Amino acid sequence: MADLEGSSTNKTQADSRAEEISEESKLQFSKDEETLIKRMYNLVGERWAIIAGRIPGRTAEEIKKYLTSTYPSTTQPKVE
């Protein structure tokens, strides 16, 4: 019985790690996407769904995660 519980824990840890890797890979954006996200953020602010609507295949959650992980919360991205 202890072996079954241990293997269950290992499987759960492996599943969690796989999900983390999957999330990290989804947060890779092309330069064009990054530029569009920055411009849209400067125009509409934190309206993630509106920004995501301009980028095919991206969700509002992905856009929000990308911006909040890339830029500190106290600064807004500026297009150079």
Q: Report the CATH number that the domain containing residue 57 is assigned in CATH.
A: 1.10.10.60
- Number of domain units in the chain: 1
Average pLDDT over residues 13-25: 52
Is the pLDDT assigned to residue 3 strictly greater than 90?
no
Q: Kindly state whether residue 61 falls inside one of the protein's structural domains.
A: yes
Q: Which domain covers residue 53, as residue numbers?
A: 2-70
Residue with tokens 């499987």: 11
> What integer pLDDT is reported at residue 69 of this predicted model?
86
Q: Kindly state whether residue 78 falls inside one of the protein's structural domains.
A: no
* Alpha carbon distance 65, 1 (integer Å): 40
- Give residue-wise pLDDT tens across range 23-75: 554 578 999 999 999 999 999 999 999 999 999 999 999 999 998 888 776 56
Q: Kindly state whether residue 79 falls inside one of the protein's structural domains.
A: no
Q: Kindly state whether residue 75 falls inside one of the protein's structural domains.
A: no
Please name the residue ranges forming H helices in 1-80: 2-26, 31-44, 48-53, 60-70
Binned at pLDDT 50, 70 and 90, residue 7 comes out as: low
